[in-house]
Chain A
Amino acid sequence: NAGVTQTPKFRVLKTGQSMTLLCAQDMNHEYMYWYRQDPGMGLRLIHYSVGEGTTAKGEVPDGYNVSRLKKQNFLLGLESAAPSQTSVYFCASSYARGNREDREQYFGPGTRLTVT
């Protein structure tokens, strides 16, 4: 049971380049999330998904797109990278069933992205 995994771990992009970050979870969770973490700002939600084939915007969605074609995978895309997107990106997942108050979020190890 690997939990939540993220690919790649590190990446350097030039302004205007595109890339896709992959998140995979093997816990059969319905909900998946993408966050970014910046110094002094905490984690902020970019996009999330409540199930296969569905996605929704979070707090800071501009410049990003997502897809959830399979329940276990959640992809985050940057179509035209900008220096402001330099950050650490975390994926998380959680159950949708059962007691709502008992739902934990499980996090991946993160992807450190630098845009020059």
Chain B
Amino acid sequence: KQEVTQIPAALSVPEGENLVLNCSFTDSAIYNLQWFRQDPGKGLTSLLLIQSSQREQTSGRLNASLDKSSGRSTLYIAASQPGDSATYLCAVRYPGYTGNQFYFGTGTSLTVIP
């Protein structure tokens, strides 16, 4: 069974700080890795998708990197804002498993303090 781990489980930072969220996975033979944001009581919003052949993707203040050989991805959030407060999930997609299944981490709950 594939495992995806996100550390820390919770993070609290003052507004304006740059921060890094971590995601690690056990098997490096991935198709892609996707970062999601989930607000309380809401669904998942896709933030960034990194293909296995890519090293990083950027969207606004977000930058996601991928190091397949070490089984790690990081999500960098620049100049954090209170509106960034949410749970961030990473999901890894593997070939050859059930359909196009993603394996999810349990998330990092981020609180940005004004």
Contact yes or no, A31 B100, CB < 8 A: yes
Interface status of B43 (Cβ within 8 A of chain A) = yes
Contact B99 A104 (CB under 8 A): no
- Contact between chains at A42 and B52 (CB < 8 Å): no
A22 to chain B, nearest CB (A): 15
A-B pairs, top 10 by smallest CB distance, nearest first, are A101-B51, A109-B43, A107-B44, A43-B104, A42-B104, A42-B106, A48-B99, A107-B43, A110-B43, A101-B31
> Which of the residues B53, B98, B106 comes within 8 Å of A41, measured between beta carbons?
B106
CA distance A105 to B103 in the complex (A): 12
> When each residue 79-113 of chain A gets 1 if its CB lies under 8 Å from chain B and 0 otherwise, what string results?
00000000000101010100111111111111010
Which residue in A42, A59, A101, A108 is a CB contact (below 8 Å) of B105? A42
Binding site for B on A (CB under 8 A): 31, 33, 40-45, 48, 50, 56-59, 90, 92, 94, 96, 99-110, 112
B106's contact among A40, A45, A58, A112, by CB below 8 Å, is which? A40
Residues of B within 8 A of A59 (CB): 98
Which of B31, B53, B99 meets A33, CB within 8 Å? B99
Chain A residues positioned under 8 Å from B61 (CB to CB): none
Q: Is the CB of A100 within 8 A of B31?
A: yes
Q: Name which residue of chain A comes closest to B107, CB basis.
A: A42
Q: Contacting A56 at CB < 8 Å: which of B52, B89, B98?
A: B98
Report the bound CA distance from A109 to B42 in whole Å.
Answer: 6
- B105 to chain A: closest CB distance in Å? 6
